Amino acid sequence: MKALITLTSSESKRLIARGIKGMPSVQNALEKHTIIVAGGTSNAFVAEELLNVQIKDKTGYTIGIVTKGELGISQSSQKTPPYVICKGQALNVSWNDYLPKLQSGDIFIKGGNAVDHTGLAAVMVSSLTGGTIGAAQGILYARGIELIVPIGLEKMVPDVRAAVEFMTKSTVDEAIGLKVGLIPMVGATVVTELTALETLYDIEARCIAAGGVDGSEGSVTIAIEGLDEEVQRALQAVKSLKGEPPVSVHY
């Protein structure tokens, strides 16, 4: 059986978050280890799924944000600090204080701004010291800690490596909004809508189109195929998340 589904940007984020929760490594970490859910609007959805909490203003779970057609800083009045989850429970500790304690089996989750067809993802940073990923990446690589990147296919770009090389040749002189750099996340486990669907259901998924209007900007259309029962399970799950509210700023 083959079926088509279309997801808005926020519906994609919800699906990806559920896919991450269903990953064996994440289930193991929820039981035995620690997960840091770094800042980011996609990560706000992940935190909700992992902890069964509600983050009303997901723009308060990030610092950098793309809104009103420019690169900027979140102006949310409802800030939620990144979660550190130890054996399924949220700790009252800042992620950067806990970062040096991470060890094998733990997981670091960080969203991105670009992904290409090879599965390489990158994130924009306005901090001159590299922001969250700049602080974490060395520890993650040195200790063999899994970096999971939830990222929707709306952020697909032609070539992340070429983009990073282009950005690092010289500094940005002007920008509409903040000036940023671009840091690749080599070796990360990238989770898109396709990954989520294939993690949760015994199906194949392919993105066949993208875009829309009137609130469906950033949407993706996906074809799924498999045994009737599995495709129907996936369809019912997707129908349950239809109508996920768009991410908007609460001033």
Q: What residues form DSSP beta bridges with 180?
A: none
The token duo for 57 is 């203003």
Q: Tens digits of per-residue pLDDT, 14-66?
A: 999 999 999 999 999 999 999 999 999 999 999 999 999 999 999 999 999 99
Quick one: which of 193, 194, 206, 204 has its CA closest to 231?
A: 204
Cα separations (Å) of 197 from 1, 10, 18, 44, 171?
Answer: 15, 16, 9, 19, 39
Instruction: Give the domain ranges of the chain.
Output: 12-202
Cβ atoms of 98 and 202 closer than 8 Å: no
Distance separating alpha carbons of residues 111 and 197, to the nearest angstrom: 18
Sheet containing 181-184: which strands, arranged edge to edge?
A: 114-115, 121-125, 181-184
pLDDT band for 249, please (50, 70, 90 cuts): confident
Helix (H, G, I), strand (E, B) or coil at 156: strand
Sheet containing 2-7: which strands, arranged edge to edge?
A: 2-7, 220-226, 203-210
Cβ atoms of 247 and 55 closer than 8 Å: no
Q: Tens digits of per-residue pLDDT, 81-139?
A: 999 999 999 999 999 999 999 999 999 999 999 999 999 999 999 999 999 999 999 99
Q: Tens digits of per-residue pLDDT, 138-182?
A: 999 999 999 999 999 999 999 999 999 999 999 999 999 999 999
Distance separating alpha carbons of residues 107 and 226, to the nearest angstrom: 31
Distance separating alpha carbons of residues 127 and 95, to the nearest angstrom: 17
Distance separating alpha carbons of residues 215 and 233, to the nearest angstrom: 26
Cα separations (Å) of 137 from 74, 125, 142?
Answer: 23, 13, 8
Which phi and psi angles does 87 have, rounded to 5°? 50, 45
Could you give the angle at the alpha carbon of 147 between the alpha carbons of 123 and 28, nearest 5°?
150
